[in-house]
Chain A
Amino acid sequence: MTASVVVTGLGVAAPNGLGTRDFWDATRNGKNAIGRVTRFDPSGYPARLAGEVPGFVAADHLPSRLLPQTDHMTQMALAATDWALADAGVEPADLPEFDMGVVTASASGGFEFGQGELRKLWSQGSQYVSAYQSFAWFYAVNSGQISIRNGMKGPSGVVVTDQAGGLDAVAQARRQIRKGTPLIVSGGVDASICPWGWVAQLAGGRLSTSDEPDRAYLPFDREARGHVPGEGGAILIMEAADAARARGARIYGEISGYGATFDPRPGSGRAPGLRKAIELALADARAEAGDVDVVFADAAALPDLDRVEAEALTAVFGRRGVPVTAPKTMTGRLYSGAGPLDLAAALLAIEEGLIPPTVNVEPAEEYGLDLVNGAARTAEVRTGLVLARGQGGFNSAVVVRAVD
């Protein structure tokens, strides 16, 4: 018998809300957070819109000791971890250090920090490059800094699978808890809205070049034209259900199922892997398609990828067979932060009995999706499915369930 793993704390740094309450208030009301890039002057670039986290001042949340050695994404991840631990009622100093681990995801590492150091290297010389560049850019740095700050020495690591990574990290955290570590900090926070990160994203060929915040990112719409990048994400406190109950913790829900697949080589003629990932996650959760009350879609906003996702959903759930939503239309795509943020939204949807909306989108009829668009929908939500795909063929699916 495999142990149940639950979420007991949430910490959110999202473009439409700093902190879980702000985020949920904005999300349930469909508040758009996409706007023109302010972290650098985007006027010389083909893509100029982003979902930026507003009002995050690192010095308000972190000791000065950490500021010179951390990228923007790490600073947000550390603050979100503090909030998630407080939300869970966990005081790390009171727990055995090997009983706590950290498994986060990262899509790009600390690009903004790295860009600053590369600039110093070329303009001033190698002696001006910060010693902290040795790790501040690194994919695993959020896990490492969270571990050090909170004295967590249990199993830790990072998963790098582009946007699928946030769900893959949660799955890895669940594995470590089942192997015996009582508590794992998981999730993902990414942020690379800087010129270096921007050109890397542009090279991927998936960015929307629209200048209209409400027309730029339109998944499942006939006008779909790529996505808007966002920054931020969510940190989840995950615990063995027995341990959480024993300490009387508030439980948001259970991480009940997980499936991950890799797409076949392009041109092979074999089917894409997303449908199989969904089926694996449902089987892992011992759930039927009919049990699922809402799907949080990956929502790539490229016609081919939207079609693949719509076909997977209609194959598993039937035509218009399940409510589908993409709150990320308010924030842009958050890379490794997207899956954990959608998990947070799914858990809050369970708590409130409300499916947050997809904004700006007029779904194309031929996709056959029951897209919750325009306004939130009141519904009893007991089981949610969250999907995330990473560039390069990664497909991941997680089932979350209400706990009685």
Chain B
Amino acid sequence: MSAQEFTLDSLKRILLEAAGMAEDVDLGGDILDTDFEDLGYESLALLETGSRIEREYGITLDDSVLTEARTPRALIDAVNAHLMSGATVA
């Protein structure tokens, strides 16, 4: 069984569902390495986003994943690492 991949598009969709978008932010731009805070998402928005990722992908993320991932790239990598390890175990 091949592991699902968590993509930037998936993250953007979940961010919008979880927390909407700030007025002066363009999620369509190159945001992979932009700090979540500069994108208008504070810790609670990320908590809600993490909770939705967990539900959708059937995984459990450590609290530290959400507090340490400062950018979309870091969060995507952390989620994918989790998905891969889950797939390997399975």
Question: Which residues of A are interface residues toward B (Cβ below 8 A)?
Answer: 63-69, 127-128, 130-132, 134
Which label, helix, strand, loop or mixed, suits the secondary structure of the B interface?
A: helix
* Interface size counted on chain B using CB atoms at 8 A: 16
Contact for A131 among B20, B22, B48, CB less than 8 A: B48
Interface-centre pick from A68, A69, A128, A131 (highest chain B CB count, 10 A) = A131
Q: A69: nearest residue on chain B (CB-CB)?
A: B19
A127 touches B20 (CB 8 A): no
Q: Which of A65, A69, A130, A131 contacts B23 (CB 8 A)?
A: A65
Question: Contact check: which of B22, B48, B51, B54 meets A63 at CB < 8 Å?
Answer: B22
Cα A132 to Cα B49 with chains together (Å): 11
Contact B44 A63 (CB under 8 A): no
State which of B17, B22, B47 has its C-beta within 8 Å of the C-beta of A65: B22
Interface set, chain B 24-49, CB cutoff 8 A to A: 40, 44-45, 47-48
Known: A63-B21, A68-B18, A69-B19. 14 other contacts (CB 8 A): A63-B20, A63-B22, A63-B23, A64-B20, A65-B19, A65-B22, A66-B20, A68-B20, A127-B55, A128-B55, A130-B48, A131-B45, A132-B44, A134-B44
Given contacts A127-B54, A127-B55, contact A64 B47 (CB under 8 A): no
Tell me whether A65 and B44 are in contact (CB under 8 A).
Answer: no
When the two chains form their complex, are residues B21 and A131 in contact, meaning their CB atoms are under 8 A apart?
no
CA distance A127 to B60 in the complex (A): 10
User: At the interface, yes or no: B16 with Cβ under 8 Å from chain A?
Assistant: yes
- Which residues of chain A are near B20, meaning CB under 8 Å? 63-68
Q: Which residues of A contact B55 (CB under 8 A)?
A: 127-128
Contacts of B48 in A (CB 8 A): 68, 130-132
